[in-house]
């Protein structure tokens, strides 16, 4: 009996089906993560600006299974503003046409080195159909508030450093030590729709 079980296990290891399934799902997993931005007000309405201005960045998992996200350099990174993941552009009227013009607002960015491997608090589990959101406060010197006047177009874009098709506590330690470079982790770009906000 033991020999048969070992033989079957060995047979499973040589089976290429799991690899084929994963490769087929790679783009699907990333595309099922929807990023959005919205303005936050003190009353909870998204129609009025709060003081200081606040911005909510959300990730919705439209996949049928839970996913775990490495929050580093993601929309859920507490340093999303400082890392340049959120872009701002002043919306103006183009005098030569009926369309609006967009003038990018330069935001100072930083580069940081993270301690490897990631701690468990750097992982975020999002259940199927669920949303995780963080609120970012727009304040000097991170964001030049004197430039946030009138209508401003806001978007969030970057690249997922690591996404697993599982819950965070089920990720193998060996996979975490590679911080998203392991075979069972997915990587890819994210991009929210641009939203016009009044400041």
CATH assignment at residue 177:
2.60.40.2970
Tally of domains within the chain: 1
In a domain, 4, yes or no: no
Contact (CB, 8 A) for 46 and 195: no
Domain, as residue range, for 65: 17-198
Residues whose CB is less than 8 angstroms from the CB of residue 173 and which lie 6 or more positions away in sequence, other chains included: 117
pLDDT tens, residue by residue, 102-120:
899 999 999 999 999 999 9
User: Could you tell me which residues come within 8 angstroms of residue 82 by beta carbon, excluding any fewer than 6 positions away?
Assistant: 108, 109, 110, 142
Asked if residue 7 is part of any domain, the answer here is no
- The pair of structure tokens assigned to 18 is 């799991």
Residues 150-165: what's their mean pLDDT? 96
% of the chain with per-residue pLDDT over 90: 66
Cα 48 → chain centroid: 25
**Cis omega (within 30 of 0) for bond into 141:** yes
- Examine residue 8 and state whether it is found in any structural domain, yes or no: no
Q: Is residue 98 part of a domain?
A: yes
pTM: predicted TM-score of the whole model, two decimal places? 0.80
Residue 9 lies in a domain: no
Mean per-residue pLDDT, 45-59? 78
């Amino acid at each position: 009996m033991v020999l048969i079980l070992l033989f079957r296990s060995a047979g499973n290891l040589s089976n290429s089906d799991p690899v084929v399934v994963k490769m087929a799902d790679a783009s699907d997993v990333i595309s099922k993560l929807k990023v959005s931005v919205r303005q936050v007000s003190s009353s909870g309405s998204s129609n009025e600006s709060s003081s200081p201005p606040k911005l909510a960045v959300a990730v919705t998992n439209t996949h049928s299974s839970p996913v775990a996200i490495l929050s580093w350099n993601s929309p859920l990174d507490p340093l999303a503003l400082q890392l340049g993941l959120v872009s701002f552009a002043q919306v103006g009227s183009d005098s030569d046409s009926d369309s609006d013009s967009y003038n990018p607002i330069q935001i100072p960015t930083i580069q940081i080195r993270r301690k490897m491997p990631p701690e468990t608090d750097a992982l975020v589990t999002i259940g199927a159909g669920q949303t995780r959101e963080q609120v970012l406060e727009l304040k000097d010197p991170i964001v030049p508030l004197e430039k946030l006047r009138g209508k401003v177009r806001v978007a969030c874009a970057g690249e997922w450093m690591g996404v697993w098709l599982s819950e965070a506590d089920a990720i193998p330690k060996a996979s975490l030590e590679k911080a998203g470079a392991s075979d069972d982790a997915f990587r890819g770009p994210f991009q929210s729709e641009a939203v016009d906000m009044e400041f």
